[in-house]
Structure 1
């Protein structure tokens, strides 16, 4: 005999079903470990005698499989049970991180090994990410989407902030190998949690092949002007933001501020902005979801502007806080728009096209950051990044669909989420 869900007053979040709670908990666990892994990997490269360029090679080795395999991951996640895809991807990431940790702890890690294992981790992420986004979108009813996605991003951002702080401290205290081992363990725990997710609605029909699935996903993506316009916007935005965060910010901090400590403080302010605004978005549910979300995007260029103006540290910290707030405002409203407008059986494929487009120019931004600083000067390059962020945010508002897309309580075109019969 099936048990009945507890009355709403007995649950803190009565709208959060079993799948939502399990997926959020697993995301926190894997986020805690994974946020510290890039720090540990960079120090592992340097500990083995690697140069700054080799740190970049290892970072690129992780990114390339993500770009190449995202579309396949999205198609599989719409064809197979999403929680199965996530479990396998988490297990693959756990194995790659465990092998990497063992090599680093043994003092035998070579550059090709670090690159190969980083690539394996990137491949795992390419299959995990579309399945994860599809699962979280389908696990909550449309009328509660804004609140649910705010809580999810709040948990994710808090885990990443804590993971970065913990990863940095542990790397300094016990070495990068142990941090990578902790990351492997977190992936194992996350895989175990996701094993207990309930199967969602029936996936895409098995006939027709992968190419048909990808073509259908592209048609769904390309048919919505608001969707591809914003993804094009973010392709350039992410190139600028990556250049500022990874190259220009640390250089300015070293030349004009107090070095790595001050830059770390600025990054912490960005993280606090993410979390604080997440609390706000739990209650704030604007009607014009993309219009309000894009007002958050206007804040993305503030760090580049503060750095270009040689602003003092308090001003830079405030700019980073506001940019973090903007990320959350956009991110929550963007997830609401996708959940509301995209059919459930297409969630993961459309998410893969979204992520692929948004990330496509990020490596280019990092690669061109140095030449741009030489050609324009560091200040000129920062002004260019700030101007592009502001200009693109304004241009997107010329698209009527971006300005007019409104929140609906229960869209008829989107499949209702599957809720399990028992709550445990």
Structure 2
């Protein structure tokens, strides 16, 4: 388990270094914001396109191998970027293509990580492991931009890219020492799987099964769990509103709340809230984790309302602290609950759908924030967004209650032993 944690920490730091390194490299080379947009989009577009394929692959192959190959691929892409920058080649097309390669690697590696945690970490320890990974990811998001900026100022962006490549290589080395069982069906819940799911998981064992059929089976697993679909859509609304807030918030802070220092205080309060929330998650006496997840997401209504009424900077900072504390609590809880409730043989495909919604929603929110604010005004847009993020996430609690009532009734099920005998 220690290898897994160290590897995920290294990978999180390397991942967080990339945006700042690429931004500074492109701006130093071209000084063109449009060129920067092309390079950043070159990673995002293939990531979104290949995520469903990555989910299928994560369910077919040992997750350790998929994550290892993803880290090695990203290591090579960052090493190639470092060589180009250090040699002074600086071709925009090369940077875009190498970023696209990294995007494909993320698409294949991301769905494999939840399966890797399930394969390596015993059930009672998963929440604590997910919380530790969450802390590493949160701290990396804070430390990495400053680290990449310092290296770029001192030695150039090529050396920042080289450090990123080394970190991915070290992450791959830790994964190389992790041994997991071959991909197979895990029971959902305490040793039990529904009869319908069991029949599908047994039936999908053929290596000749098509990607299309696997995708359909993954979608069927989602449809059988209305609570999951409702939660994912609510989280998509959360990410969209986060894009709006992170675009309109700094403009409002600079113009109305006292300048750039006010926005930095707001951002740092959110960072502190996020880290504290992740630390608190495994220590809180939570009896209904999914309800807590959705309440945590609904807390984003607070900074949206603060933005709408142009609340003073301390009030906005406090609202953002609470919202990000909610995110910190919900993230490890969500990872753990989904791993417990979704059959392992379908976990990669189910989580790839979850990640697809999340990865796509925030950039979309960033892109449309300014045009929407120009049409409706910041106040109306932020108030509407606050209502939507609260309603979408609180409404997801209803399918959870129905699902719990349905599970209370006896359902034909099979144990692991019966599943093997079939």
Specify if TM > 0.5: yes
**Normalised by the shorter chain, which TM-score bucket?**
0.7 to 0.9
2:47 matched residue in structure 1? 66
CA separation of 1:361 and 1:151: change in aligned 2, threshold 3 A: closer
Q: Answer whether contact 2:71 2:172 (CA < 8 A) is retained.
A: yes
1:11 matched residue in structure 2? none
Q: CA deviation at 1:403?
A: 8.4
Q: Which consecutive unaligned segments of at least 5 residues does structure 1 have?
A: 1-19, 417-424
Q: Equivalents in 2 of 1:59, 1:42: separation in Å?
A: 8
Q: Answer whether contact 1:225 1:401 (CA < 8 A) is retained.
A: no
Counterpart among 162, 166, 175 of residue 181 in structure 1: 162
2:237 matched residue in structure 1? 236
Q: Answer whether contact 1:342 1:414 (CA < 8 A) is retained.
A: no
Q: Answer whether contact 1:343 1:414 (CA < 8 A) is retained.
A: no
Q: Equivalents in 2 of 1:168, 1:258: separation in Å?
A: 25
Q: Equivalents in 2 of 1:156, 1:413: separation in Å?
A: 38
Q: Equivalents in 1 of 2:48, 2:241: separation in Å?
A: 18
2:345 matched residue in structure 1? 345
CA separation of 1:170 and 1:386: change in aligned 2, threshold 3 A: farther
TM norm structure 2: 0.85
Report Cα offsets for 1:119-152 as digits up to 9, x if no partner: 1111110011001121113322333333332233
CA separation of 1:216 and 1:273: change in aligned 2, threshold 3 A: same
Q: Equivalents in 1 of 2:415, 2:219: separation in Å?
A: 18
Correspondence 1:211-250 to 2 at 5 A:
211-245=212-246, 247-250=247-250
2:331 matched residue in structure 1? 331
Counterpart among 199, 202, 206 of residue 180 in structure 2: 199
Q: Equivalents in 2 of 1:312, 1:237: separation in Å?
A: 23
CA RMSD of aligned residues (A): 2.7
Q: Equivalents in 2 of 1:308, 1:241: separation in Å?
A: 14
1:398 matched residue in structure 2? 398
2:274 matched residue in structure 1? 274
Q: CA deviation at 1:415?
A: 7.8
Tell me if 1:76 matches 2:77.
no
Q: Which consecutive unaligned segments of at least 5 residues does structure 2 have?
A: 185-203, 418-422
Q: Equivalents in 1 of 2:276, 2:316: separation in Å?
A: 18
Tell me if 1:158 matches 2:143.
no
Report Cα offsets for 1:307-334 as digits up to 9, x if no partner: 2222233223222222221112211221
CA separation of 1:254 and 1:58: change in aligned 2, threshold 3 A: farther
2:198 matched residue in structure 1? none
Q: Answer whether contact 1:91 1:191 (CA < 8 A) is retained.
A: yes
1:210 matched residue in structure 2? 211
Report Cα offsets for 1:243-265 as digits up to 9, x if no partner: 322x2123223323455444333
CA separation of 1:403 and 1:316: change in aligned 2, threshold 3 A: farther
Q: Answer whether contact 2:238 2:297 (CA < 8 A) is retained.
A: no
Q: Equivalents in 1 of 2:402, 2:4: separation in Å?
A: 30
TM norm structure 1: 0.85
Q: Equivalents in 1 of 2:51, 2:286: separation in Å?
A: 31
Q: Equivalents in 1 of 2:315, 2:416: separation in Å?
A: 46
Q: Answer whether contact 2:305 2:382 (CA < 8 A) is retained.
A: yes
Q: Equivalents in 1 of 2:353, 2:402: separation in Å?
A: 18
1:23 matched residue in structure 2? 4
CA separation of 1:160 and 1:21: change in aligned 2, threshold 3 A: farther
Tell me the number of residue pairs that the alignment of Structure 1 and Structure 2 aligns: 393
Q: Equivalents in 1 of 2:385, 2:407: separation in Å?
A: 32
Tell me if 1:171 matches 2:152.
yes
Q: CA deviation at 1:41?
A: 1.2
CA separation of 1:312 and 1:51: change in aligned 2, threshold 3 A: farther
Q: Secondary structure at the match of 1:360?
A: helix
Q: Equivalents in 2 of 1:94, 1:309: separation in Å?
A: 46
Shifted more, 165-174 versus 114-123: the winner is 165-174
2:123 matched residue in structure 1? 142
CA separation of 1:265 and 1:392: change in aligned 2, threshold 3 A: same
Shifted more, 162-171 versus 224-233: the winner is 162-171
Q: Answer whether contact 1:78 1:349 (CA < 8 A) is retained.
A: yes
CA separation of 1:234 and 1:66: change in aligned 2, threshold 3 A: same
